Amino acid sequence: MNLEQFSSNALMLAFILYCVAFIFFAVGMAGKRWRDRDPVQHQARWGRRAVWLTMIGFAAHIIYFITRWISANHVPTANMFEFLTFLGMMIVAAFIILYLIYRTALLGLFAMPISIILLAYAAVFPKEVQPLIPALKSYWLYIHVTTAALGEAFFAVGFAAGLMYLLRVIDYSDQSKESRRSKRGIEYTVFAVVAVIGFILITNMFNSTGYTATFTHPMEEKDETGTWVTVTKTVEYKLPPLIVPDQHTVVHQDPFLGAQLKGLEAPGWMKGLNSARKLNTILWSVISGMILYGLLRLIVRRPLGAVLKKTVDGIDADDLDEISYRAIAIGYPIFALGALIFAMIWAHEAWGRFWGWDPKETWALITFLFYTVYLHLRLSRGWQGKKSAWLTVIGFIVVMFTLVGVNLVIAGLHSYAGV
């Protein structure tokens, strides 16, 4: 077994331990209503076990990180797989730090799934160690990416606590307009998470069966002399094509469920190289998300928010509000340092300008400004509780868009980190 292999085994172990820890957190919560036991003691015991498991998992995760660093000879935060794995690790770290401050083990019930989902999502991307291109050869790769990720991890935990707060205070029997709106909001949030899970399941499924479909399609491009020419581009799909490029030709297409799928042509205005493929991916995640969500709804026969609400019964709502806010307050300067200041220093060294309004840079600034607004609203305008919790949810969407969405949808200079 070589070091790279050992490293990925350690990661697998961390992933499994996180999953078990999550189950323990859930047992701690659900078991409160079991017979012949003291609910407080039961929850404390299982909470402790879960936190221990989390810490052992974290240790395995660190072993993965170090061994991969050694075998790759550069810090493993250089591509999407490595970055998402690292972010997952940082989220666990942020959870552990907040646990040590507040001793609220139940935070893990919502924080761990975020890390688990990110690790599973990382598996969608190519896992092999890649050599660094010249632009990435800098110790700022270590410093900029790691600090930015740690800041984002705190935002993620802030989101977990914010969502718990919302679930805690919402009253599912209340039919008032405001309450109905909150319920809808929570259900959308849950659906978004389920859609991500659905997408991860479906992609990993097709990846493991090795599904491919290849198309060529014409694309207008400006050549060196500035005249428009039509060139033929090749696109490879890893998911069955529901949407195919405009005016495409099939080069090769695996059958899906025994049939040759005939996809819809992407609208003519979608001219980008991979825009049809990206639209196809988005469509698949929505469909798989809807199926998964529908199945879950069929099983529980209630809004999923109402089920989740049960898990946060008995936690002090104000404590959740406080934890959520503190997570963001801790993460804010770390994020600003990593994603803006260090980013500027590196950009200055690598590209000769500290700021260029590249989409990734701009979105890092947007994230920063968003949380600046959050802090001002909370500290100066007295926004706390629900309003503030909703902001943490929106904030997390902004963070995820900056990390993943920009690479998928907009791209730009940072696209080497992308798919």
Partner 1 sequence: MIHNTKCECGHQNPVGTVLCENCGKPLEDEANTAPLEMRYDGVARRSQRENPSIIDRVWRFFSSVKVAIYLIGITTGLSALGTIYPQENTFLGIDPATHYAENYGVLGEWYYRLGFTDTFGTWWFKLLLIMIGASLVICSLDRVLPLYRALSKQQVRKHLSFLTRQRVVYRGELPSDRYMSGSEASGIQLVTDLTPLLKKKGYKVHTDGSALLAEKHRFSRWGPYINHIGLIIFLLALLFRGLPGWYMDQYIGFVEGEPVAIPDTPYYLKNESFTVQYYTEKELPTEFRGQGRMVPKLYETKAVLYECTADCGMSGVEPVLKEVTQHDIQVNKPLNYRGLLAYQFDYRETPQIRAIRVYLTDHKTEERYGPIELSTTNPKEQFDVGSFELILKDYYPEFDLNENGTPYTKSRSPLAPAYIFLMHGPGLPADGEIYIYFAREIDKQRFSQDKLNGQLAERFEIGASSMDDVSISQYTSYLNIRVDRVLPYLFAGGILFIIGVVMGVYWQHRRIWLRIDEGKEITIGAHTNKNWFGIRKELADVLQKAGIRIDQKQLDNGGNRK
Q: Which residues bind partner 1 (CB under 8 A)?
A: 102, 126, 128-131, 133-135, 137-138, 140, 226, 269, 271, 316, 318-319, 321-322, 326, 329-330, 332-333, 336-337, 340-341, 344-345, 348-354, 356-357, 359, 362-363, 365-366, 369-370, 372-373, 375-382, 384, 406, 410, 412
Identify which of 17, 165, 166 has the alpha carbon closest to the alpha carbon of residue 88. 17
- Rounded to whole angstroms, the Cα distance separating 46 from 144 reads 37
The CA distance from 409 to 352, in Å, is 26
Give the residue carrying structure tokens 């968003």: 370
Q: Residue 356 Cβ, how far from partner 1 at the closest point, in Å? A: 8
Q: Provide, rounded to whole angstroms, the least separation between the CB of residue 187 and partner 1.
A: 25
DSSP 256: B
Whole-number Å distance between alpha carbons of 395 and 8:
32
* CB of 20 vs partner 1, minimal distance in Å: 30
Q: Residue 67 contacts by C-beta under 8 Å, 6 or more apart in sequence?
A: 3, 4, 6, 7, 10
Buried b / exposed e over 291-300, threshold 16 CB at 10 Å, is: ebbeeeeeee
135, two tokens: 């632009």
- Min. distance of Cβ 358 from partner 1 in angstroms? 8
Of 192 and 329, the one with the shorter C-beta distance to partner 1 is 329
Nearer to partner 1, 199 or 371 (CB): 371
> Toward partner 1, which CB reaches closer, 272 or 303?
272
> DSSP states of 376-397 as a string?
HHHHHS---THHHHHHHHHHHH
Cα torsion 225, 220, 359, 123 to 10°: value is -130
Nearer to partner 1, 30 or 329 (CB): 329
Residues pairing with 218 in the sheet: 232
Minimum distance from residue 141 beta carbon to partner 1 (Å): 9
CB of 36 to partner 1, least distance (A): 28
Q: Which is nearer to partner 1, 55 or 377 (CB)?
A: 377
| Closer Cβ to partner 1, 30 or 410, answer by number | 410
CB of 370 to partner 1, least distance (A): 6
Given the complex with partner 1, which of 46 and 370 has the nearer CB atom? 370
Closest CA to 406 of 371, 366, 369: 366
